[in-house]
A and B are shown apart, each in its own frame.
Chain A
Amino acid sequence: MSEALTAKTVMIPGDGGDEIEAYLAVPDDGETAHGSVVVIHHMPGYDSPTKEITRRFAAAGYAALMPNLYYRDAPGASPDDAAATARAQGGVPDDRLVGDVAGAADYLRALPGSNGKVGVIGYCSGGRQSFLAACRLQLDAAVDCYGACVVTAPPSGFPLQVEPVVGLAKDLSCPLLGLFGADDQYPPPAETAELSRVLTDLGKPHDFHTYEGAGHAFFAVNRPAYRPEAANDGWQRIWDFYGQHLAS
């Protein structure tokens, strides 16, 4: 594989038909049949490291699109200013997130060469949102990277609009790959074990891995939380998982 790709900013219809910004990366041979991935950014926002992740999917042969979930809150702002604004306003409402992922998935399916299969992946808060989207939308594969508050509610009084979404598990539309750190407290291993139990009881296919010596955000190469052994293994599992469920 040449890993040649083209990346650019596009405007896409998001929730309610709102035009929102998104970062698109497609393989240069993208008009041959390919699967697609919606990338959900973490709480720090639509930032350069997550754009790099989006490009990585394109280098591996997938069309990838990351919607700017904070675009409405702070259009044109730098990612950190936009994230601060979104946090102060209570975060991204779940319904809006689902609508934005739906818009991104539709955009990807309409690209030349799309095989019609779309996966989703999210990091941190985006891990929870990846699970949420896979329960509310018809998708083909979902990856949850250390998403908290899927099973357990945050302590009362938190102003962010975050509620457990495990109750939606019966509607999970696709296989779920979960990648977690044993040292993480949000989500703690007990929470991801409970999610696995629920999915098993419901007969929902899932594959969870919890890495010893890793905590939250172990994929983040620019942060002290980076754990190369966990991240390298996690990436390989992502390639295997998407290769199985998204490839033509």
Chain B
Amino acid sequence: MCTYQTEQIGVEGSGKGASGWFALTEATVYFDHPVHAMAEHTLNIDFRNPGRGPAARVAVELTAASARELARAIEAALAAAPAALVD
């Protein structure tokens, strides 16, 4: 299916793409057809910097279970860090 749904957020940080590291400015998140993963649908994240062109992108395609596990791991890692560092 084409869900058409796209969550879009601004992000600060860096990603490593095909041409090396670059600053990230946004991320789009959607559950839809993957390009590469052998699943009918995946949770896809594009970390992007449109100002540096379409190729300034770090893409991941995760199964729904993997995506949920990733979200849990991110929250756990942040929760385990000293509050003064992550606030």
Q: Which residues of chain A have a CB within 8 Å of any CB of chain B?
A: 42-44, 47, 73-74, 77-78, 80-85, 87-88, 91, 124-125, 148-149, 154-155, 158-160, 162, 184-186, 215-217, 223-225
CB of B76 closer than 8 Å to a CB of A: no
Inter-subunit contact B50/A158 (CB<8 Å): no
Q: Which residues of chain B have a CB within 8 Å of any CB of chain A?
A: 1-6, 8, 26, 28, 30, 32-33, 35, 38-40, 46, 48, 50, 53-55, 57, 59
Chain A residues with Cβ under 8 A from B3's Cβ? Answer: 154, 186
- Which of B38, B39, B54 meets A84, CB within 8 Å? B54
Assuming the contacts A85-B54, A148-B2, A154-B4, asked whether A223 and B40 have C-beta atoms less than 8 A apart, the reply is: yes
- Which of A44, A124, A159, A185 meets B35, CB within 8 Å? A44
Closest B residue to A80 by beta carbon equals B35
Inter-subunit contact A185/B1 (CB<8 Å): yes
What are the 9 closest A-B residue pairs judged by CB atoms, nearest first? A186-B1, A77-B54, A74-B54, A81-B54, A85-B54, A84-B46, A160-B4, A216-B1, A80-B35
Chain A residues with Cβ under 8 A from B48's Cβ? Answer: 84-85, 88
A84-B57, A224-B40 given; 9 more Cβ-contact pairs under 8 Å:
A42-B2, A74-B54, A78-B54, A87-B46, A124-B2, A160-B4, A186-B1, A223-B33, A224-B38
Closest B residue to A126 by beta carbon equals B2
Inter-subunit contact B2/A224 (CB<8 Å): no
- Which of B4, B39, B57 meets A81, CB within 8 Å? B57
Inter-subunit contact A88/B40 (CB<8 Å): no
